[in-house]
Amino acid sequence: MAIEVQGTSKTSPAEVLDTARAAGVKVVDFRFVDLPGTWQHFSVPLSGLEEEVFTEGIGFDGSSIRGFQAINESDMLLIPDPDSATVDPILQVPTLYLVCNVVDPITRESYTRDPRYISQKAEAYLAQTGIADVSYWGPEAEFYVFNSIRFDQNAFSGYYFIDSEEGIWNSGADSGPNLGFRPRFKEGYFPVPPTDKLQDLRSEIMLKLIEAGVDVEVHHHEVGTAGQAEIDMRFNTMTKMADGLMTYKYVIKNICQQHGYVATFMPKPLFQDNGSGMHCHQSLWKDGGNLFFDENGYALLSESARWYIGGLLKHAPALLAFCAPTTNSYRRLVPGYEAPINLVYSQRNRSACVRIPVYSTSPKSKRIEFRSPDATANPYLAFAAMLMAGLDGIQNRIEPPSPLDKDLYELEPEEKAKIANVPGSLEDVLKALAADHEFLLKGDVFTQDLIDTWIDYKMTREVEPVALRPHPWEFFLYHDA
Active-site amino acid positions = 61, 140, 142, 222, 230, 279, 350, 369, 371
Q: Give the max Cα distance, the chain.
A: 71
**What is residue 54's DSSP assignment?**
H
What is the C-alpha separation between 157 and 328, in angstroms, rounded?
20
> 248-282: b or e for each residue (b if 16 or more CB lie within 10 Å)?
bbbbbbbbbeeeebbbbbbbbbbeebbbbbbbbbb
DSSP string for 438-480: HHHHGGGSS-HHHHHHHHHHHIIIIIHHHHHSPPHHHHHHHTT
The answer for residues whose C-beta is within 8 angstroms of residue 302's C-beta and 6 or more apart is 291, 292, 293, 294
Query: If 0-12 CB within 10 Å is exposed, 13-18 middle and 19+ buried, where does residue 303 land?
Result: middle
CA dist., res. 460 & res. 436, Å (int):
20
Q: Whole-angstrom Cα distance, residue 247 to residue 233? A: 11
Query: What's the rounded Cα separation, in Å, for the pair 160 and 155?
Result: 15
445: nearest Cα among 390, 399, 406 = 390
Phi, psi of 213 (to 5 degrees): 90, 10
Q: Which residues contact 179 (CB under 8 A, 6 or more apart)?
A: 194
Q: Helix (H, G, I), strand (E, B), or coil: what is residue 171?
A: helix
Judged on CB neighbours under 10 Å (0-12, 13-18, 19+), 222 is buried
